[in-house]
Amino acid sequence: MNESNDPLDHTPFQNLTILQHNSQGSNLVFLTLFSLIRNRNVFFVCLQDPPLFQGDPLRAPGYQCFSSNVIGQKKRVATYVNCFLTKSFNYLCVSPAADVLYLLISRNDGGKVVGGHERFSLINTYNRQVDGNNTVSLADLFTDNTNPSLIVGDLNVHTMYTDLE
């Protein structure tokens, strides 16, 4: 019998809680969002267009922030991980493009994370239209990754069918 009070001590994610939002670079939106979830059990907060201070996303109490590491590019995505998870999980952060952030999640003890798999990928993206072109390609999002993956973000999908009024 597991006598630990830590619900994630020896079990995979039972209820994976993820919040995704385009904060449009607004400090007020950022502060409001994190004040609303302060006493909630939100594991991951994935922001697009986060507010920046000296080029880096703002800090949030109780969360560790991971952001794009593409040199010379504005950070357009940030993923905040609840500090409660940091004692049981490892994170590998990769940015294949300036507007895409992969967070590869695994357990410290090598146990299963999701669906019998030892790793889980959370992909945060912010697709923008620049000069009529998308900043994120399908190849940036859909890889030959064998781990379960979840893509969240602001995809800004505009076609003649979605833009009809």
Is the pLDDT assigned to residue 7 strictly greater than 50?
A: no
Please report which confidence band the pLDDT of residue 13 belongs to, taking 50, 70 and 90 as the band edges: low
User: How high is the mean pLDDT of the chain?
Assistant: 83
pTM of the model: 0.83
Q: Would residue 164 count as lying in a domain?
A: no
Instruction: Say what the pLDDT of residue 93 is.
Output: 87
Residue 5 lies in a domain: no
Q: Could you tell me the CATH number of the domain that includes residue 134?
A: 3.60.10.10
Average pLDDT over residues 111-131: 86
Query: What percent of the chain has a predicted confidence (pLDDT) above 90?
Result: 42
Distances (CA, A) of 98 to 105, 128, 135: 20, 11, 8
User: Whose CA is closest to 38, among 19, 13, 12, 66?
Assistant: 19
Q: Is residue 162 domain-resident? A: no
**Average pLDDT of the segment spanning 5-32:** 77
SS3 143: coil
Q: Does any domain span residue 10?
A: no
Domain tally, the chain? 1
Map residue 41 onto helix, strand or coil: coil
Residue 8 belongs to a domain? no
pLDDT value for 143:
73
Q: Is residue 58 part of a domain?
A: yes
pLDDT at 53: 94
With pLDDT > 70 as the criterion, what percentage of the chain qualifies?
85
Q: Is residue 52 part of a domain?
A: yes
Q: 29-61 pLDDT, tens per residue?
A: 999 999 999 888 899 999 999 999 999 999 999
- From the number of C-beta atoms within 10 Å of its C-beta (0-12, 13-18, 19+), residue 125 rates as buried
Q: Which structural domain range is residue 55 located in?
A: 18-154
Q: In this structure, is residue 93 part of a structural domain?
A: yes
Candidates 102, 26, 117, 28; CA nearest to 66 is 102
DSSP 15: S
Q: In this model, does residue 8 exceed pLDDT 50?
A: no
How confident is the model over 72-94, as pLDDT tens digits? 888 999 999 999 888 889 998 88
